[in-house]
Amino acid sequence: MSHGHDDPTLHPEVQMSTSRGYFLGFAISSVLMLVATFLVTSHSMPPFGLLMVISACAAIAIIAQIYFLLHIDTSEHNIWNAVALVLFMPLFLITIGLTWWMFSQLYLHTMIMPGMPAMVH
């Protein structure tokens, strides 16, 4: 029972894969990681500026990996992968946000604050 694709290499997603694309995605991500690592170790920026630059490097690296390594774009044969990514992002952000909230509340409720008497049982 054949569905018209006897040769798996004729599938559009397989044909999009090239070693140039994989290398380019890996190289962009690696260079951005090295830039962020250098900025952190050299202490060349104030903390808030450093956070912004590292966040920008991370965002560019994520976009490069999505496009070059995962081959997610809005082409007709790949649209459902893009839809899945768009639907995944809010869940991911909610998970990260709730994790941050949980640990910040845990810290507030378990750490001894300066000036507060310690509770001894």
Q: What pLDDT score does 74 carry?
A: 78
Dihedral of the alpha carbons of 50, 55, 60, 64, in degrees to the nearest 10: 120
> Quick one: pLDDT band at residue 71, thresholds 50, 70, 90?
confident
pTM for the full model? 0.65
pLDDT above 70 covers what percent of the chain?
Answer: 83
pLDDT in tens, 12-52: 666 667 788 889 999 999 999 999 999 999 999 999 999 99
Q: What pLDDT score does 1 carry?
A: 46
Environment class of residue 25 by beta-carbon count within 10 Å: exposed (0-12), middle (13-18) or buried (19+)? buried
Domain ranges of the chain: 18-70
